[in-house]
Amino acid sequence: MESIMSHRASILSFTLATTSLPSKMSILQQPTTRTPLLNFCPNLQNQTRAFTTKDIPSLLFHHNPSNSSSFKVYSSLNLFSSDQSNMILQDVGATGLVMVGAYSLVLVFDNLTKNQVIQQNLSRKLVHVLSGLLFLSCWPIFSNSAEARYFAAVVPFVNCARLILNGLSLTTDAGLVKSVTREGNPRELLKGPLCYVLILILSAVAYWRDSPVGIMSLAMMCGGDGVADIIGRRYGKQKLPYNQQKSWAGSISMFTFGFLISIGMLKYFTALGYFELDWSSTMGRVALVSLVATIVESLPTTEVLDDNLSVPLSTMLVAVLMFG
């Protein structure tokens, strides 16, 4: 009897062992089907080691090149990633490059004026036109970080500080006063020139390259208003009936060049992929914005509100209504 019971017990134990084998095999096979984790973190693919806490950073901060939105989410979490460091270095380098370009531009026209190649008034207006457009054109060399706009604003901010210090006679820079003012009075620095750099800062910080609004405001202030003064002084014999300080030639040139430069800059930024526009309606909208800015510039309000404020602010207002 004992031998029979022993024999039955051995058969039962063998049966239990054999019936439990498939369940064990299925548990071993389960990890091979859990691919989402490996797909999300390629660093863990083809590796047989166990998952450890060292793998957490790669899970949180992995950049998937095929999905730009994931990069925006995860890069904002990783404050010390190599991508973030590269962006800072890029913005610092871009700021330095724009700074050098701005001062080089002023130096070139100062030398042209000293050598009597061009007149002082023409030199001042050409700096007015080119410096702002140069600043605007250099926006794409900054990184895609959220802080890039503030790095770009450093350049006009430095010039803003210079204008205030010299305008209040706290420091003396005869070259700056001569190249920027009309009559050589340092107090003039606190008027049009100061308004000019404040608009540069506002356009960069508030709108940046993601919106047509800031781009058009600088195009109208620099290209439109700047060229209007040059053409108006040279060919503006026929004055406007409601403002003897402005001419038909100046107003027509402001509308024309403001419109063309605005279109050119919008094409430039859309080609680089910062935003998209429906060009079938954009042309008419830009024309309307240019017309309003031209009318505002022609009004006899210069003594109350400088053109470097009235033109870009009116452009911003209408552009917001047109483009949102």
| Range with top average pLDDT, 17-21, 169-173, 181-185, 187-191 | 187-191
The pLDDT assigned to 22 comes to: 43
Q: Using CA atoms in the order 93, 95, 100, 105, what is the torsion angle rounded to 10 degrees?
A: 140
The pLDDT assigned to 6 comes to: 54
The pLDDT assigned to 201 comes to: 97
- Mean pLDDT of the residues in the chain: 80
Q: pLDDT, tens digit, for every residue of 46-63? A: 444 444 444 433 433 333
39 pLDDT more than 80: no
Higher pLDDT, 57 or 185: 185
The pLDDT assigned to 153 comes to: 97
Model confidence band, residue 183 (pLDDT cutoffs 50, 70, 90): confident
The pLDDT assigned to 151 comes to: 97
Q: What is the DSSP string of 158-227?
A: HHHHHHHHHHTTSS--HHHHHHH-SSS-GGGGGTHHHHHHHHHHHIIIIIGGG-HHHHHHHIIIIIIIHH
Q: pLDDT, tens digit, for every residue of 120-157? A: 889 889 999 999 999 999 999 999 999 999 999 999 99
- The reported pTM is 0.73
Q: pLDDT, tens digit, for every residue of 59-116? A: 333 334 444 333 333 333 333 456 888 999 999 999 999 999 999 998 898 888 888 8
Helix, strand, or coil here: 240?
strand
Q: Residue 292 contacts by C-beta under 8 Å, 6 or more apart in sequence? A: 314, 315, 318
Return the structure tokens found at 210.
Answer: 């993601």
CA distances to 65, 143, 241, 253 from 298, rounded to whole Å, are 51, 38, 10, 12
12 pLDDT more than 80: no
Q: How many CB atoms lie within 10 A of CB 13?
A: 10
The pLDDT assigned to 181 comes to: 81
Q: pLDDT, tens digit, for every residue of 229-270? A: 999 999 999 999 999 999 999 999 999 999 999 999 999 999
180 pLDDT more than 50: yes
The pLDDT assigned to 81 comes to: 52
Pairwise CA distance, residues 192 & 308, whole Å: 6
Helix, strand, or coil here: 239?
strand
The pLDDT assigned to 230 comes to: 93
Q: What percent of the chain has pLDDT over 70?
A: 75
- Sort residue 159 into left (φ over 0), alpha (ψ -120 to 50) or beta: alpha
Pairwise CA distance, residues 183 & 159, whole Å: 20
Domain boundaries along the sequence of the chain: 81-207, 211-324
